[in-house]
């Protein structure tokens, strides 16, 4: 018999479905307790047998969501994404998903539970739409795999509504503020790093991972080949591939940046000579006193923030915003977005235009004035 209904008590029924035989030839059954009338039990059994015949019946997984996420992270995510992305997945799940849903059985996690989580993160935790969407992205990927493994019938994340994307204007300095920042930075040992950050638009992990072989003084350019990655939980550091394939790029350097780098190299050579064998030769452009990579936290807290304060700039201005400043100033000066995109190492010019859409109105006004002058010999009003 493919299925049977057994009375277990007042309005309680045990529904059994024959699932076949295991490797040792023993019969295997799926049991489900139904509360209600016998008609309710029969209705559930009929639907389950139909799904079984169609090959879509899934025996509910008894493992908890926490247990499943551990399995997914270790056997799938770890081999699919880069190490720093994987650490981000772990952190997002640990911080936001596991506390609320982790104790539930995987088969019991429903769309309404996940929707409640998203709403709570948005309304009570006051997280940005971007962060909530990141949590959704990771959780949905994990539960999507559970569907493929036939642990659940449907991915409940696909039934949830996400907070609307928020357009955020990228913080940046004005040209005058940049001049003030760089003037104050001249007294800091990492002046060359800050100047390069503003001029090239490189990410902190890119310029902190540069070696001297990446600087071509004859051609006057820097080549991005790798990124410095600091592992979480005291895992040390390593060099990794840049963020995207297009992040591998060569960027021309101005005369001021080249001069600052040459001066920095001379000072570093003198320091190495004094330290002798104690200095660890990683050939880093920007290295600690002992030659090891700089941790960007220390670089930011002990150097960048002091310069920001000294230049009387907004305290909310972040180290990464030097990159945004480079892009915004170039776009406002009328530089081709494609060129700006290549300098930043963006995956596409679409990403550049989307990220810096707040600059477009000024660019459109400039375009109108140029066209007006070309066609009519006058300036637009």
pLDDT at residue 57, rounded to an integer: 59
Tokens 């180290």, residue located: 319
Distance of alpha carbon 367 from alpha carbon 371, whole angstroms = 6
Tokens coding 370: 């140029």
pLDDT reading at 151 higher than 80 = yes
Tokens coding 125: 């935790």
Question: Mean pLDDT in the chain?
Answer: 89
* Residue 212 burial (CB count, 10 A): 12
CA distances, 264 to each of 195, 213, 260, 268, 333 (Å): 12, 15, 6, 6, 30
pLDDT at residue 241, rounded to an integer: 87
- Among the listed residues 94, 92, 132, the one whose alpha carbon sits nearest the alpha carbon of residue 116: 132
The residue-averaged pLDDT of 244-266 equals 94
Q: What is the pLDDT of residues 59-93, one digit of tens each?
A: 566 789 999 999 999 999 999 998 888 989 999 99
Burial of residue 14 (CB within 10 Å: 0-12, 13-18, 19+) is middle
Helices (H), 186-254: 191-200, 204-207
Tokens 């939980």, residue located: 233
pLDDT at residue 54, rounded to an integer: 65
pLDDT reading at 338 higher than 60 = yes
pLDDT at residue 340, rounded to an integer: 93
Helices (H), 208-310: 255-275, 296-299, 305-310
CA dihedral of residues 77, 79, 81, 85 (deg, nearest 10): 70
| C-beta of residue 162 within 8 angstroms of C-beta of residue 288 | no
pLDDT reading at 158 higher than 90 = yes
Distance of alpha carbon 77 from alpha carbon 144, whole angstroms = 12
Q: What is the pLDDT of residues 285-309, one digit of tens each?
A: 999 999 999 998 999 999 999 999 9
How do strand 12-21 and strand 27-35 relate by DSSP bridges? Answer: antiparallel
The residue-averaged pLDDT of 137-165 equals 92
pLDDT at residue 48, rounded to an integer: 77
Burial of residue 81 (CB within 10 Å: 0-12, 13-18, 19+) is middle
Strand (E) or helix (H) holding 99:
helix 98-101
Domains defined for the chain, CATH in brackets: 3-54 (no CATH), 65-159 (1.10.150.130), 175-317 (1.10.443.10)
pLDDT reading at 24 higher than 80 = no
| C-beta of residue 158 within 8 angstroms of C-beta of residue 112 | no
Distance of alpha carbon 348 from alpha carbon 185, whole angstroms = 32
pLDDT at residue 94, rounded to an integer: 96
pLDDT grade, residue 153 (50/70/90)?
Answer: confident
């Amino acid at each position: 018999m493919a299925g049977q209904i057994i009375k277990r008590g007042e309005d309680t029924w045990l529904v059994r479905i024959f699932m076949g035989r295991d490797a040792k030839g023993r019969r295997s059954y799926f049991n489900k307790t139904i509360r209600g009338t016998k008609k309710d039990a029969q209705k559930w059994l009929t639907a389950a047998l139909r799904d079984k015949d169609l090959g879509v019946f899934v025996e509910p997984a008894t493992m908890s969501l926490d247990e499943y996420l551990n399995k997914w992270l270790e056997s799938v995510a770890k081999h699919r994404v880069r190490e720093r992305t994987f650490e981000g997945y772990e952190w997002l799940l640990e911080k936001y998903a596991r506390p609320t849903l982790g104790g539930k059985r995987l088969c019991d996690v429903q769309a309404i539970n996940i929707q409640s989580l998203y709403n709570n993160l948005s309304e009570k935790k006051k997280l940005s739409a971007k962060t909530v969407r990141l949590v959704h992205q990771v959780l949905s990927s994990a539960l999507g795999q559970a569907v493929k493994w036939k642990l659940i019938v449907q991915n409940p994340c696909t039934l949830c509504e996400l907070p609307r994307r928020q357009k955020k204007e990228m913080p940046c300095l004005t040209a005058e503020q940049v001049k003030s920042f760089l003037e104050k930075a001249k007294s800091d040992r990492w002046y060359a790093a800050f100047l390069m950050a503003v001029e090239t638009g490189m990410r902190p992990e890119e310029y902190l991972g540069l070696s001297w072989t990446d600087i071509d003084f004859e051609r006057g350019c820097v080549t991005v080949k790798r990124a410095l990655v600091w592992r979480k939980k005291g895992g040390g550091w390593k060099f990794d591939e840049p963020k995207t394939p297009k992040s591998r790029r060569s960027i021309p350097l101005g005369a001021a940046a080249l001069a600052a780098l040459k001066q920095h190299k001379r000072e570093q050579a003198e320091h190495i000579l004094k330290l002798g064998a104690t200095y660890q030769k990683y050939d880093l452009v920007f290295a600690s006193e002992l030659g090891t990579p700089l941790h960007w936290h220390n670089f930011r807290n002990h150097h960048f923030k002091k310069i920001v304060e000294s230049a009387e700039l907004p305290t909310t201005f972040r180290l990464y915003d030097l990159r945004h400043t480079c892009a915004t100033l170039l776009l406002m000066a009328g530089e081709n977005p494609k060129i700006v995109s290549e300098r930043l190492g963006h995956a596409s010019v679409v990403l550049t235009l989307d990220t810096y859409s707040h600059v477009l109105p000024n660019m459109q006004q400039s375009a109108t004035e140029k066209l007006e002058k070309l066609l009519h010999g006058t300036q637009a009003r």
